[in-house]
Structure 1
Amino acid sequence: MLDKIQLDNILFLDIETVPEFENFSDLDQTRQELFEAKTQYQRKDDFTPEEFYDRAGIWAEFGKIICISVGYFTHKSDVRHFRVTSFFGDEIKILKDFSNLLQNHFSQPQHVLCGHNAKEFDFPFIARRMIIHNVPIPTKLNLFGKKPWEVPHLDTLELWKFGDYKHYTSLKLLTNVLGIPSPKDDIDGSEVASVFYIEKDIDRIVTYCEKDVIAVAQILLRLRREDLLVEEEIIHV
């Protein structure tokens, strides 16, 4: 089934998120109390809400998107390229620009979205932040009323599970196992917030996000038993 999907019809993506505010003290009293209640199970008695706040970026209610990177294949005269681009900066603009890309170029029935652990994180996070900012949800992210086999999403984590719902494999581990260059050669997800708020280096985050997108595409190629991308085939736009 995976072999029947044309690569040109897949939009690969990855997002980077951080806490919506730099410090826990920047939240008003109500939001602090809500964060404390939201994270009670994860924190237990090991961390105070303030100590735990650096992880707020994993929840759409307390985080925000600072980068969405996408990639897609093109084929002309048997020449394969993988084009990568990113949306970053103001979150509302990121969401609107990404929505426009989906609506204008990846809205047809044959188009699908693909990410790693994206069904659990990236896709719902984007949709929730769109609702929060009153941005219309594009068709490819609006799952209301869809049957499971009608959802236009691929997830390389899910594909690797082969039905084993207990199994979790990180992108870093899966690329290593499959002989794919690691995208985690500079920073990892736990460092994104400090790079954003302390170092203020969005370019470094964009590079990291784009490497993840390329890695997801490489994984899908391996699952299809196709040649991996080489540097000359990857175009950053």
Structure 2
Amino acid sequence: MLNKTNIQNILFLDIETVPEIELFEDLSEEKQELYALKTQYQRKDEVSAEDFYHRAGIWAEFGKIICISVGYFIERDGINQLRVTSFYGDNETKILTDFKELIDKHFNLNKHLLCAHNGKEFDFPYIARRMIINRVDLPKKLNLFGKKPWEIPHLDTMDLWKFGDYKHFTSLKLLTSILGIPSPKQDIDGSEVANVYYKEKNLPRIVEYCERDTVAVAQLLLRFLNKPLLDDKNIVTI
């Protein structure tokens, strides 16, 4: 079925998240207790909830989205061109609303798919949960209530690489390396995003990182389809 999918009907995406509040001590007492409960199985016994707070961004209940980068293919003179754009800033509600507007206007038909790396476990549910928290109506492509598994319009490049192996986790960095795709991890990695956002206050650096990941996801799908990879001149940031 994947070989029959028109890549121009796919919206590739990646998100960057950080703790919703910079410092653990600035959380309410109730939120601190809830975070401790949420993370008790991830933390080692000697690691406090406060010491573990730098990872809060990976949970939608304690984090927020600061960037969503998307990419989509168009054809120019018989050659695939990937156009990349980003929604970012300190106003998460606006980021989510602008992203929803893009989907509703341009990727809302049955033929359209969303694609991310580990998207089924992270990006898609994270966006949906933050939309609910921010009182943003879910777009059809993220509203999965009552849908059967084969009706869900999501592609996940990590899921495709599993080939049915439920235990297999493969990072985007590893996959791009073994498949001969230029690495997206040229500057920072996910563990550094919160520090770059809160300490360095360098959001453009995070946006560039997010856009490179989005391009890498699109390149991965091209490799899975045994199609030529994109060169730099066919990747356009708008």
Query: Under a length normalisation based on structure 2, what TM-score does the superposition of the two structures give?
Result: 0.99
Q: Distance in 2 between matches of 1:202 and 1:46?
A: 33
Equivalent residue number for residue 16 of structure 1: 16
- Give the match's secondary structure for 2:109: coil
- Does 74-83 or 116-125 show the bigger shift? 74-83
Instruction: Note the 1:42-191 alignment, pairs <5 A.
Output: 42-89=42-89, 90-191=91-192
Matched, 1:30 2:30: yes
Deviation track 1:109-160 (CA, whole Å, cap 9, x = no partner) reads 0000000000000000000000001100000000011110000000000000
Q: Distance in 1 between matches of 2:184 and 2:79?
A: 25
Percent identity among equivalent residues?
A: 65
Q: Distance in 2 between matches of 1:209 and 1:80?
A: 21
Q: Distance in 2 between matches of 1:100 and 1:45?
A: 44
User: Once the 2 structures are TM-superposed, how far is the Cα of residue 54 of structure 1 from its aligned partner?
Assistant: 0.3
Per residue, is there more helix in 1 or in 2?
1
User: Once the 2 structures are TM-superposed, how far is the Cα of residue 44 of structure 1 from its aligned partner?
Assistant: 3.2
- Give the match's secondary structure for 1:68: strand
Instruction: Note the 1:184-223 alignment, pairs <5 A.
Output: 184-223=185-224
How many residue pairs match? The answer is 237
- Give the match's secondary structure for 2:41: helix
- Give the match's secondary structure for 2:102: helix
Aligned-residue Cα RMSD (Å) equals: 0.6
- Give the match's secondary structure for 1:199: coil
- Give the match's secondary structure for 1:206: helix
Q: Distance in 2 between matches of 1:227 and 1:79?
A: 10
Q: Distance in 2 between matches of 1:180 and 1:6?
A: 21
- Give the match's secondary structure for 1:37: helix
- Give the match's secondary structure for 1:139: coil
The one-letter code of the counterpart of 2:100 is: S
User: Once the 2 structures are TM-superposed, how far is the Cα of residue 80 of structure 1 from its aligned partner?
Assistant: 2.0
Deviation track 1:4-26 (CA, whole Å, cap 9, x = no partner) reads 11010000000000000110011
User: Once the 2 structures are TM-superposed, how far is the Cα of residue 59 of structure 1 from its aligned partner?
Assistant: 0.2
Deviation track 1:81-117 (CA, whole Å, cap 9, x = no partner) reads 1000000011000000000000000000000000000
Q: Which runs of 5+ in 1 are unaligned?
A: none
Q: Distance in 1 between matches of 2:15 and 2:80?
A: 25
Moved over 6 A (4+): none
Q: Distance in 1 between matches of 2:46 and 2:156?
A: 33
- Give the match's secondary structure for 2:75: strand
Deviation track 1:40-77 (CA, whole Å, cap 9, x = no partner) reads 10013131011000000000000000000000000133
Equivalent residue number for residue 231 of structure 1: 232
The one-letter code of the counterpart of 2:6 is: Q
Q: Distance in 1 between matches of 2:46 and 2:19?
A: 20
- Give the match's secondary structure for 2:199: helix
Q: Distance in 2 between matches of 1:235 and 1:26?
A: 41
